[in-house]
C-alpha cells in the first residue's frame, strides 16, 4: 500500500561514476558556485535557494536515496512549516499524519495514573506533521533539482580543500576534487567534514542523546481509533524502568503515521556523570514498556506488527553545553547548518525547523557571497548574525525545560511532576517564555513582510489535511528500487 505516488521520469541527475558502469565519455564537472554537503532535511533547502538565484549548485549525498540514512521518522513541528521555506508550505510533501494533539501520560506501576490532553488544536489546524525521512527528504531534494541544482547520490564528501586558510572545495570518497566558492555543510550531527575544516570538534558526549526507534505496522483504522490525530508521551520516574532518568533522555513516545506507529526513546551518552550501559539499558526500557504498560498491552500491541528497529544520535543539548555552543558555524568559504551546527531544539529534540531556517539563511548568504565575489570569513559573518537574529534558532537550542526535569529526581513531588509535564509538553509549551514569545515575534515579522501570509497559512492547513485524507502528494522521483520501502525477505536481499 504505497502511501505516495511515484514519478519515475522525474529528473535526478545520475551520479557521475557508478561502480560497474564505465566512466562516462564526458568529463564530470568539477567546479561550482556552491556545493551543499548532505541532502537530508536542510541541504535541499539551501541548494534550492542557490539554484533559483541562478548559481551553479551541487548537492552531495552519501546515501543512495535521500533520507534513507536519516534516522528516523519524525513529527515536524508546525513552526517549521509556518515560518520556514515558502515552497514547503505551498507544496504537497508526503506526510504520514497531521498531528493535532499531544497526549501526555504519567505511568506508575504500569498503569496510566494521569493523562494531560491540554495541548491540542481543532482540525485542520495542527501542531505538526508526522513523516518518514526517506520520502520527505526525497521530496525536498526533488524541489532542489527541479530548481536546477545537481544531485549526486552515493557520494560522500570526505575532506575539504583548503587554500590560504579558506575552504575552496571538497574531496569525494572517489578522490574527485570539487571546487566551489561556498561549501554549505548540511551533513547532520556527526559532521566529520566541518571537523576536517577545523571549524568544529566532535560534540561532547554530554550533548548527545542516543535514540532507538521501533516501527510497527498498524492498520489505519486502528491508528485512527486508538490515537486519532494525536501522538503520545509516557512519563515516569526511573524506577518504572521504561526510560532514562528524568532530564537525561526522552521518555518513551509514540509517533503515529498513516498505517503504522513509530515509537522511540533515548538517553544521553553521559547520564548523572557517567557513561551508562546503553547497549543494555535502552533495549531493556522498551522491553519493560511493552511488557508492563497496560495501554500498550491492551490497546496497541494486539493490533501491531514490528517491522523495523534502528537508532541514531542527536545533539539535543548542544545549545546548553558551553563547549558545544561556542563552536564556530562558519569560516572562510564554508557555512555549517542544521544538526552539524548544533541547532537541535533542546526541549523536544525537534531539529527539522532549525535545519530549514538555517539552510535558508545559509543559501541566502551564499548567493550574496557569490555575487559579491567574496566568501571570506568576514563576509560570511552575516550568516551568524542572521542566525542570532532569528526568532527560533537560538531560543529553541537553549531551552532548559527538558534539562530541568532533572530537578524532579531528588524529590518525589508528583504534583510538581505533573505541573512540569504540562508546562513542557502540554499547553504550557505555548507560554510566552517557552514557545509563545518566538511564535508571536515570528508571526509579526511574517505578517509585516506579507500580510497575505495568514491566508497562506490557513490554505496550507486545509490542503495538507486534504492531501492526507486523499493520500495524494506530489510525485516523487524514483530510483532503481523505487521509493516505497518494500519489506524485504530476511537473509540476503
Partner 1 sequence: MAMTYQEFPGVEWVEGAGDYIKVDAEKCSGCANCVRVCLAQCFKIAGKKAVVDNLDRCMECGACWYVCAPDAIRFSWPPGGTGFRTLWG
- Summarize as ranges the residues that interact with ligand FAD (CB under 6 A): 37-43, 60-63, 69-72, 74-77, 156-157, 186-188, 193, 211, 213, 264, 312, 314, 338-340, 344, 349-352, 355
Torsion sign across C-alpha atoms 75, 78, 79, 82 = positive
260 binds, among ligand FAD, partner 1, none (CB under 5 to 8 A by kind): partner 1
For residue 279 the three cell numbers come to: 547497549
Binding site for partner 1 (CB under 8 A): 15, 61-65, 67-73, 132-134, 153-156, 158, 172-174, 189-190, 192, 202-205, 208, 210, 212-213, 215, 260, 262, 269-270, 275-279, 282-283, 306-313, 485-493
Q: Is 415 exposed, middle or buried (0-12, 13-18, 19+ CB in 10 A)?
A: exposed
Least separation, in Å, of the C-beta of 493 and partner 1?
5
Which of residues 55 and 362 has its CB atom nearest to ligand FAD in the complex? 362
Closest to 160 in 3D by CA, of 114, 122, 191, 130: 191
Task: Decide whether 72 or 434 has the Cβ nearer to partner 1.
Answer: 72
Q: Which residue in the block uniquely carries the three cell numbers 534516522?
A: 71
Shortest distance, CB of residue 147 to partner 1, whole angstroms? 23
126 binds, among ligand FAD, partner 1, none (CB under 5 to 8 A by kind): none
Report yes or no: 135 and 4 within 8 Å, Cβ to Cβ: yes
Burial code (b: 16+ CB inside 10 Å, e: under 16) for 317-350 equals bbbbbeebeebebbbbbbbbbbbbbbbbbbbbbb
**Closest distance to ligand FAD from the beta carbon of 245 (Å):** 19
For residues 190 and 181, what is the distance between their CA atoms, to the nearest angstrom?
24
**62 vs 229 by CB, closer to ligand FAD:** 62
Closest to 169 measured CA to CA, from 33, 67, 20, 307: 33
Minimum CB separation of residue 316 from ligand FAD in Å reads 9
Nearer to partner 1, 184 or 210 (CB): 210
Percent helix, strand and coil across the chain, each to the nearest 5:
35, 25, 40
Q: CA 398 from chain center: how many Å?
A: 17
The burial of 400, by beta-carbon neighbours within 10 Å (0-12 exposed, 13-18 middle, 19 or more buried), is given as middle
Decide whether 255 or 461 has the Cβ nearer to ligand FAD.
Answer: 255
Q: Which does 269 bind (CB under 5 to 8 A by kind): ligand FAD, partner 1, none?
A: partner 1
Cβ burial of 411 (10 Å; 0-12, 13-18, 19+) is exposed
Q: Which does 64 bind (CB under 5 to 8 A by kind): partner 1, ligand FAD, none?
A: partner 1
Least separation in angstroms between residue 277's CB and ligand FAD is 20
263 contacts 130 by C-beta, under 8 angstroms: no
Do the bridges between strand 305-314 and strand 260-268 make them parallel or antiparallel, or are there none, so unpaired?
Answer: unpaired
Of 302 and 491, which CB lies nearer to partner 1 in the complex structure? Answer: 491
Contact 196, 50 (CB under 8 A): no
Grid coordinates representing 343 are 541547532
CA atoms within 13 A on the CB side of 478: 11
- Whichever of 166 and 176 has its CB closer to partner 1, that residue is 176
Give me 167's grid cell.
Answer: 575552504
Q: Which is nearer to partner 1, 24 or 444 (CB)?
A: 24
E strands in 94-173 = 97-99, 101-108, 111-120, 128-131, 150-152, 157-163, 166-172
Q: How far is the CB of 129 from ligand FAD (least distance, A)?
A: 10
Best CA proximity match to 64, nearest among 115, 113, 110, 19? 19
Residue 478 binds which one of ligand FAD, partner 1, none, with CB within 5 to 8 A depending on kind? none
| Of 126 and 417, CB closest to ligand FAD | 126
Closest separation in Å from C-beta 486 to partner 1: 7
Residue 256 partner contact from ligand FAD, partner 1, none using kind-dependent CB cut-offs of 5 to 8 Å: none
208 binds, among partner 1, ligand FAD, none (CB under 5 to 8 A by kind): partner 1
Smallest gap from Cβ 275 to partner 1, in A, equals: 5
Minimal distance, residue 341 CB to partner 1, in Å: 16
Strands 150-152 and 57-60: parallel
Which of partner 1, ligand FAD, none does 37 bind, CB closer than 5 to 8 A by kind? ligand FAD
Closest distance of CB 393 from ligand FAD, Å: 12
Which among partner 1, ligand FAD, none contacts residue 338 (Cβ within 5 to 8 A by kind)? Answer: ligand FAD
**Contacted entry of ligand FAD, partner 1, none for residue 411, CB cut-off 5 to 8 Å set by kind:** none
Beta carbon nearer to partner 1, 52 or 152? 152
Amino acid at each position: 500500500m504505497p502511501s505516495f505516488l511515484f514519478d519515475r521520469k522525474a529528473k535526478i541527475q545520475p551520479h557521475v561514476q557508478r561502480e560497474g558502469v564505465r566512466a562516462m565519455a564526458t568529463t564530470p564537472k568539477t567546479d561550482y558556485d556552491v556545493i551543499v554537503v548532505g541532502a537530508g532535511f536542510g541541504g535541499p533547502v539551501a541548494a534550492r535557494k542557490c539554484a533559483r538565484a541562478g548559481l551553479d549548485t551541487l548537492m552531495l549525498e552519501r546515501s543512495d536515496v535521500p533520507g534513507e540514512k536519516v534516522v528516523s521518522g519524525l513529527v515536524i513541528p508546525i513552526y517549521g512549516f509556518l515560518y520556514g521555506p515558502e515552497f514547503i508550505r505551498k507544496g504537497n510533501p508526503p506526510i504520514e499524519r497531521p498531528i493535532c494533539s499531544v497526549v501526555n501520560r504519567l505511568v506508575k506501576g504500569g498503569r496510566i495514573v494521569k493523562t494531560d490532553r491540554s495541548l491540542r488544536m481543532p482540525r485542520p489546524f495542527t501542531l505538526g506533521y508526522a513523516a518518514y525521512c526517506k520520502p520527505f527528504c526525497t521530496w525536498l531534494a526533488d524541489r532542489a533539482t527541479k530548481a536546477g541544482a545537481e544531485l549526486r547520490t552515493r557520494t560522500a564528501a570526505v575532506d575539504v580543500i583548503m587554500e590560504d586558510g579558506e575552504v575552496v572545495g571538497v574531496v569525494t570518497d572517489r578522490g574527485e576534487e570539487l571546487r566551489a566558492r561556498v561549501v554549505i555543510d548540511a551533513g547532520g550531527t556527526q559532521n566529520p567534514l566541518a571537523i576536517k575544516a577545523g571549524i568544529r570538534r566532535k560534540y561532547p558526549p554530554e550533548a548527545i542523546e542516543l535514540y532507538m526507534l521501533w516501527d510497527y505496522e498498524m492498520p489505519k483504522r486502528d491508528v485512527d481509533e486508538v490515537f486519532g490525530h494525536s501522538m503520545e508521551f509516557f512519563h515516569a520516574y526511573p524506577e518504572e524502568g521504561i526510560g532514562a532518568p528524568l532530564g537525561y533522555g526522552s521518555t518513551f513516545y509514540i509517533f503515529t503515521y498513516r498505517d503504522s506507529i513509530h515509537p522511540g526513546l533515548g538517553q544521553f551518552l553521559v547520564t548523572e556523570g557517567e557513561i551508562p550501559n546503553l547497549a543494555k539499558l535502552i533495549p531493556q526500557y522498551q522491553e519493560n514498556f511493552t511488557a508492563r504498560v497496560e495501554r500498550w498491552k491492551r490497546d496497541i500491541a494486539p493490533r501491531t506488527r514490528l517491522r523495523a528497529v534502528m537508532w541514531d544520535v542527536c545533539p539535543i543539548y548542544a545549545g546548553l553545553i558551553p563547549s558545544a555552543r561556542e563552536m564556530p558555524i562558519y569560516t572562510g568559504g564554508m557555512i555549517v547548518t542544521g544538526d552539524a551546527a548544533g541547532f537541535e531544539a533542546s526541549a523536544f529534540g525537534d531539529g527539522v525547523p532549525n535545519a530549514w531556517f538555517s539552510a535558508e539563511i545559509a543559501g541566502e548568504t551564499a548567493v550574496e557571497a557569490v555575487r559579491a565575489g567574496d566568501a571570506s570569513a568576514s563576509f560570511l559573518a552575516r550568516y551568524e548574525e542572521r542566525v542570532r537574529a532569528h526568532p527560533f534558532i537560538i531560543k529553541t537550542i537553549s531551552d532548559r525545560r527538558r534539562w530541568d526535569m532533572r530537578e524532579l529526581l531528588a524529590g518525589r513531588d508528583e504534583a510538581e511532576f505533573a505541573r512540569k509535564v504540562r508546562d513542557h509538553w502540554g499547553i504550557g509549551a505555548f507560554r510566552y517564555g517557552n514557545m509563545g514569545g518566538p511564535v508571536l515575534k515570528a508571526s509579526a515579522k511574517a505578517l509585516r513582510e506579507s500580510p497575505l501570509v495568514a491566508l497562506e497559512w490557513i490554505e496550507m492547513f486545509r490542503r495538507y489535511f486534504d492531501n492526507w485524507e486523499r493520500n495524494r502528494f506530489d510525485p516523487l522521483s524514483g530510483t532503481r528500487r523505487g521509493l516505497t520501502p518494500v519489506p524485504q525477505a530476511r537473509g540476503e536481499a
